[in-house]
């Protein structure tokens, strides 16, 4: 039976202190694959910590990362947008903070060398896709209702990770034009990628809190249990393949 522990970890990128959460199954021993989990625009909150614990239950070392610094989170869209844009408008900051998370995992004795993947939600989806575009040597990246816009056009062969995009067919924040542009970009890069679209699923379809937040703030977001289950199953299948 799994014995999941989730501990706070402090690490740095440049002069910024980052406060993540590391989830592991204490009943397991020896090196195993690891998965980085990148948060939504709200910051590293209990929802993302819960996802890290779910990954630990599957046997992975899971690191829920802090992309904003000092564990900062937001409670309203204005605050969330400000935190997110501070990273997206200086993408090098995002690259440094993601690299710091990779380095943290690589230094751990319970992580198998070279066996790291990354998943991300909304803003986090954009960040893991950017890491793939930049050729970070990850086994796989999975984007859940993530932004597909590009900060870097990968050269043929530059994308090392297998890529899975889990997209809501009813996502009002990620237009179909972005999906087509992303697909064209991956084809040109000769990437190993797949896009799954779930009919009618809105933005933030994996987050059970999304419906209430959508109503409260007038956002086109909501939970979709079927799309959540399908996308999580697809992620598990991909991780099983790349870590076989």
pLDDT digits (tens, 9 = 90+) for 105-115: 999 999 998 99
DSSP string, 65-118: --SSSTT-B-SSHHHHHHHHHHHHTTHHHHHHHHHHHHHHHHT-TTEEEEEEEE
Q: Is the pLDDT of residue 2 over 90?
A: no
Predicted confidence at residue 32, as pLDDT, reads 97
Q: Residue 244: inside a domain, yes or no?
A: no
Q: Residue 226: inside a domain, yes or no?
A: yes
Q: Residue 82: inside a domain, yes or no?
A: yes
C-alpha dihedral sign at 90, 83, 129, 214: negative
Calculate mean pLDDT across residues 113-141.
97
Tally of domains within the chain: 1
H, E, C per residue of 110-175 = CEEEEEEEEEEECHHHHHHHHHHHCCCCCCEEEEECCCCCCCCCCCCCCCCCEEEEEEECCCCCCC
Q: Residue 65: inside a domain, yes or no?
A: yes
Mean pLDDT over all residues of the chain? 97
Predicted confidence at residue 178, as pLDDT, reads 97
Q: What are the tens digits of pLDDT across the range 7-62?
A: 999 999 999 999 999 999 999 999 999 999 999 999 999 999 999 999 999 999 99
Q: What are the tens digits of pLDDT across the range 78-103?
A: 999 999 999 999 999 999 999 999 99
Q: Residue 239: inside a domain, yes or no?
A: no
**CA–CA separation, 37 vs 51, rounded Å?**
8
User: At 91, which CATH number?
Assistant: 3.40.50.1820
**CA–CA separation, 9 vs 18, rounded Å?**
8
DSSP string, 4-64: EEEEEEEEEETTEEEEEEEEEETT--S-EEEEEEE--TTBS-HHHHHHHHHHHHTT-EEEE
Q: Residue 242: inside a domain, yes or no?
A: no
**Residue 10, domain extent:** 4-232
Q: What are the tens digits of pLDDT across the range 183-221?
A: 999 999 999 999 999 999 999 999 999 999 999 999 999
Calculate mean pLDDT across residues 67-88.
97
Q: Is the pLDDT of residue 1 over 90?
A: no
Predicted confidence at residue 85, as pLDDT, reads 97
Q: Residue 10: inside a domain, yes or no?
A: yes
Question: Taking the complete model, does pTM exceed 0.85, yes or no?
Answer: yes
């Amino acid at each position: 039976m799994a014995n999941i522990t989730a501990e706070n970890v402090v690490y740095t990128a440049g002069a910024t202190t980052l406060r993540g959460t590391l989830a592991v199954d204490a009943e397991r021993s020896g090196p195993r694959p690891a998965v980085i989990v990148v948060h939504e625009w709200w910051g590293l909150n209990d929802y993302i910590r819960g996802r890290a614990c779910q990954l630990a239950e599957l046997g992975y070392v899971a690191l829920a990362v802090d992309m904003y610094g000092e564990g900062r989170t937001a409670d309203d869209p204005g605050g969330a947008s400000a935190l997110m844009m501070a990273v997206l408008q200086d993408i090098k900051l995002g690259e440094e903070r993601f690299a710091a998370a990779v380095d943290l995992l690589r230094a751990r004795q319970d992580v198998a060398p070279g066996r790291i993947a990354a998943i991300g939600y909304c803003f986090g989806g954009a960040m893991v896709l950017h890491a793939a575009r930049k050729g970070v040597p990850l086994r796989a990246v999975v984007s859940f209702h993530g932004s597909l816009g590009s900060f870097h056009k990968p050269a043929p062969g530059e994308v090392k990770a297998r890529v899975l995009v889990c997209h809501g067919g009813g996502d009002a924040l990620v237009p179909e034009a972005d999906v087509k542009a992303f697909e064209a970009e991956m084809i040109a890069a000769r990437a190993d990628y797949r896009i799954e679209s779930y009919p009618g699923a809105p933005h933030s379809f994996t987050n059970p809190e999304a419906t209430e937040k959508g109503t409260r703030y007038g956002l086109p977001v909501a939970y979709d249990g079927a799309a959540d289950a399908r996308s999580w199953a697809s992620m598990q299948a991909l991780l099983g393949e790349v870590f076989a």
